[in-house]
Amino acid sequence: EIYRNLSKDYMYGFLAYGDYRIAKVGIELYRESETGWEYVQSGELNEGTMTLLYEVKQAGFYKISLRALQMVEGYSVGHYGLVVIHD
């Protein structure tokens, strides 16, 4: 899990990818509220990488959750990376 402050009126792009042991990686975005973490959006799978585009309407503290959706046969662990960009 990765935590970031996201600013209002920016379009953010998130790209999650796994190493050779991870066949598919997932990404979910949550926003902190008074009662806990509220689900915002999931990414879209494209050939093993996951992308998520989100225009922030409410500035705040966000959680980016990454997880392996599918491992390559014979592996149970792997490394992943995350790229975050905004306009």
* Mean pLDDT across 61-73: 94
> Is 7 exposed, middle or buried (CB count within 10 Å of its CB: 0-12, 13-18, 19+)?
exposed
pLDDT tens-digit readout, 73-86: 999 999 999 999 99
pLDDT tens-digit readout, 24-57: 999 999 999 999 999 999 998 877 788 999 999 9
> In this structure, what DSSP letter does residue 78 have?
-
Residues 54 and 4 sit within 8 Å (Cβ to Cβ): no
**pTM for this predicted structure:** 0.86
